Structure 1
Amino acid sequence: MRTSISTQKKHRYDRPQALELLSQLPMGELMNLAHRERMQRFPENTVTFVVDTNPNYTNVCVTGCAFCAFYRKATDTDAYLLSPEELAGKIGTAAAKGATTVLLQGGHNPKVGLADWQAYISTIQAACPDIHIHPFSPAEIAFMAEREKCSINEVLQTLWNAGIRTVPGGGAEILTEPVRRIIAPHKASTQQWLDVCEAAHGIGFKTTATMMYGHVEKDEDIVDHLLRLRELQDRTGGFTSFIPWSFKPGKTALAGQVEQTAHPARYVRIIATARLVLDNFEHIQSSWFSESIGAGQLGLLAGADDFGGVLVEEHVHKEAGHDRQATLDNVVTIIRRAGFTPARRDSYYRVLETFDPPMPVGTGNQESPSID
């Protein structure tokens, strides 16, 4: 007989209970539990967001993940590798539009070495000294260590010495090997991804943690992913946030193995489950960009306290046929319409600017956001 989770005292959810949250608990009950936990952590009712840009310095990648429509072979006519000056120019344009963070990722390009990474960083720092550089996923770092025939710690220390202090948590996908063997057999393994994060946290980096669901994984895989993150966070405390998104089939090789895309309700359930299971994570992100606006807003009522980024430039999702655009004013309005006070943050989740709170219900109408 199913245990009534809602009547239990606050405790750490084990694997069977986490599976129950994700797959069995009624949606309303699950959202209520997660929202209550979120409000205990953030009683001021604020939802944060960041203004960022996600240029890719190359689209050449030898990993060839089945879920990716962005990568190209070096011989493809539309393959590219930007120079440091070209990349800095793109970031300068984004900074002029208000971006404060650059999420810098490319792929597994054998022609890009550690010295090239250093050149990208130093050129951006010189051209855009006020922008925060948030570069190179754990999977890329593992690949770079292999390419340079050095340790992961040596790659991370080089980035630290260059002034980098945060690392994006991309490349996690699903942290179970049976799934990774299907969707990303040539990418860093589950243990390698976790090892890079642990080493980064040991040096002093803060990292995010991601998850891409909605393909060949099962509920058990999602729960195992969360529990592995929680276990590592217990040891290091280095994760700042958890960021899930659904697989976008588009023109990917994996599309033929996925009968239908994940329903927005699945996204909300994962957000809520993450808030309850990841009890040692401060921030959970619900995104207007990776899902729909409505799903993103529901995520804010299901435990999330962050709304992701106002992206000035993004290509990976766009190549998979998922192209969304919004301005800062749009995102502020969307957050308000969900009943929260919007606040712009930096990559450390420090609030830089707080906007007006939502109007009390029944006192007036707020203009609907215009999304092109």
Structure 2
Amino acid sequence: MIVPKIAANYIERGDEEAIILEIAKKAGIYPMDYKFNACPVNQIVEEGDEVRVGKYVLKVIETPGHCIGHVCYVLEANNKVNLFAGDVIFYESGNRKEDEFLDYLTEPRQSELQDLLNIILKRGHAKRNEAYQLIKANGTDLLELLKVSSLLRDQSKGKTVTYSRKVFIPLTNMCRNTCSYCTFVKGPDNPDAHIMNPDEVRAKLKQAEASGCKEVLISLGERPELRYEFTKKWLNKLGYKRMVDYVYDICEMVIKETSMIPHTNAGALKVEEIKKLKMVNGSMGMMLESNNPNLSVHRDCPDKHPMVRLNTIRYAGELKVPFTTGILIGIGESLEDRVDSLFDILELHKKYNHIQEIIIQNFRAKKDTKMANSEEPTIWDMVRTIAVCRLIFGRQMNIQAPPNLTPEMHQLFLLAGINDWGGISPVTPDYINPEKPWPNITALNSVCSELGFTLRERLTVYPEYVYDADFNQEVFTKRIYDFIDERKLVKEEWATC
């Protein structure tokens, strides 16, 4: 037996009083009938000594801890430093052979983060402080994070991944906000500034319906009439004072003249505006983007203040509107901001149960913007954020990553825990990111199939809400019923690749 100097005498004597054995028995550490027998000491060691075990050399370091004279033993082998924190090492005990001893020292151990992931998997969701840790995962810990997020997704969604076949109607590209990353918005002095008239919209709707679209995404800049006289006059020519009233009538046109279902994203709205638009929309949406109020990209953007946007999400919940929202990563926010933004959305969803989908969208730098030379999020930023989003919201939430912004990474996004690709249009570009074409649906289906997923078309209203009378308008009941099967997804005969 090899022992530190201070322990040698009472180990050789079997001195139970010296080792305070009675207290240890009362504390339940040892059974009450335990006997401490005297042991022969082969070697006494202290700071700086070396102990040889076969071909291995252990260095002795003094580490006063639970007692004076406590020592540890350090082994340096295979480019690793291993620490034995006990008081004694049993020499020639027969418990381990030399090679087994080194294998034990150097074999992989499960990390603390992996332990945490196992707890989260059993619980079904991550807490805020846990998410702060997970959003920084790398190496093999990141692989474990993706594994757990995928498992949570599979427990509810199985191997089905969805998309919505849509037409994109950019009703106006004028806006009172001037975000540093945006090329969609045009000021009135720009020759491309425009408000679509009803005939332009009608022509797009006709083309879309012929191409099998079921969703009409109506998107527009936020309240341009409050900033530009030019916009006011244009609206007046069309017979309106507010963009929201024009949006309402365009949605009504969709209902009356097509079999499609409107989904409006008009940005931050007041409660009475959402109440009005609910009557003519199957669902609505607006990105939170970030809950950080101090981002320079949103300077002088009144509708991008987090409280304004969170209020819009709250109003949608109060009015029982199936709602899509999410975050935009890479615009100056911290990792903790991402987590906090997702938890802000989660708190509202817990209260109103109205968030049908969370989007994790990556910033892409564009020419002729203030952020043209800004660094974009890495692919690992995206997969970490997707995976942590899945762990925050749990098994049931629908989570999307836009399929056109990073097309070469579709399968990695699936492994990170998404179950939806969002809207894909066969007739109109992504007007927000016009340089990024939509994927071909047949090709996307092949990509999904390679990982064992089945790609299915859904409506703008997610399956969880299609038959909920509180969340849907009667005007859509028949067209929803005609489109969907028993899984509440678009019938195969209506789906078009």
- TM-score range (shorter-chain normalised) is 0.7 to 0.9
Amino acid at match of 1:165: G
In structure 1, what is the Cα distance between the partners aligned to 2:144 and 2:331? 26
- Structure 2: 5+ residue runs without aligned partners? 1-110, 226-231, 236-241, 464-488
Aligned pairs for 1:245-324 within 5 A: 245-256=361-372, 258=374, 260-279=375-394, 282-292=397-407, 294-312=408-426, 313-319=428-434, 322-324=435-437
State the secondary structure of the residue aligned to 2:416: coil
Establish whether residue 153 from structure 1 lines up as the match of residue 267 from structure 2. Answer: no
Contact 1:242 1:281 in 2 (8 A): no
State the secondary structure of the residue aligned to 1:86: helix
Establish whether residue 135 from structure 1 lines up as the match of residue 288 from structure 2. Answer: no
**Partner residue, 2:253:** 123
Aligned pairs for 1:1-372 within 5 A: 3=113, 4-8=115-119, 10-11=122-123, 12-24=125-137, 26-43=141-158, 45-108=159-222, 109-110=224-225, 111=232, 113=242, 114-128=244-258, 130-139=259-268, 141=269, 152-161=270-279, 163-170=280-287, 172-179=288-295, 181-188=296-303, 189-256=305-372, 258=374, 260-279=375-394, 282-292=397-407, 294-312=408-426, 313-319=428-434, 322-350=435-463, 351-353=489-491
Structure 1 residue 123, shift from structure 2 partner: 2.3
Structure ranking higher on relative contact order (CA contacts 8 Å, 6+ apart): 1
**Partner residue, 1:148:** none
Contact 1:132 1:347 in 2 (8 A): yes
Structure 1 residue 184, shift from structure 2 partner: 5.0
**Partner residue, 1:358:** none
Question: TM-score of the superposition, structure 1-length normalised?
Answer: 0.84
**Partner residue, 2:485:** none
Contact 1:51 1:101 in 2 (8 A): yes
Judging changes above 3 Å, is the alpha-carbon distance between structure 1 residues 280 and 138 closer, same or farther for their aligned structure 2 residues? farther
In structure 1, what is the Cα distance between the partners aligned to 2:284 and 2:367? 28
Structure 1 residue 309, shift from structure 2 partner: 2.6
Of 235-244 and 118-127, the range deviating more from structure 2: 118-127
Structure 1 residue 220, shift from structure 2 partner: 1.0
In structure 2, what is the Cα distance between the partners aligned to 1:222 and 1:198? 19
In structure 2, what is the Cα distance between the partners aligned to 1:186 and 1:344? 36
State the secondary structure of the residue aligned to 1:324: coil
- Structure 1: 5+ residue runs without aligned partners? 142-151, 356-372
In structure 2, what is the Cα distance between the partners aligned to 1:167 and 1:315? 18
Structure 1 residue 257, shift from structure 2 partner: 6.4
Amino acid at match of 2:278: W
Q: Please say which structure displays the higher CA radius of gyration.
A: 2
In structure 1, what is the Cα distance between the partners aligned to 2:396 and 2:313? 15
In structure 2, what is the Cα distance between the partners aligned to 1:74 and 1:290? 28
Judging changes above 3 Å, is the alpha-carbon distance between structure 1 residues 74 and 213 closer, same or farther for their aligned structure 2 residues? same
Contact 2:404 2:437 in 1 (8 A): yes
Identity %: 21
Judging changes above 3 Å, is the alpha-carbon distance between structure 1 residues 20 and 48 closer, same or farther for their aligned structure 2 residues? same
**Partner residue, 2:26:** none
Structure 1 residue 330, shift from structure 2 partner: 2.1
In structure 2, what is the Cα distance between the partners aligned to 1:325 and 1:197? 27
Amino acid at match of 1:206: P
In structure 2, what is the Cα distance between the partners aligned to 1:135 and 1:54? 10
**Partner residue, 1:149:** none
Contact 2:317 2:348 in 1 (8 A): no
Structure 1 residue 73, shift from structure 2 partner: 0.6
Number of aligned pairs?
335
In structure 2, what is the Cα distance between the partners aligned to 1:252 and 1:37? 41
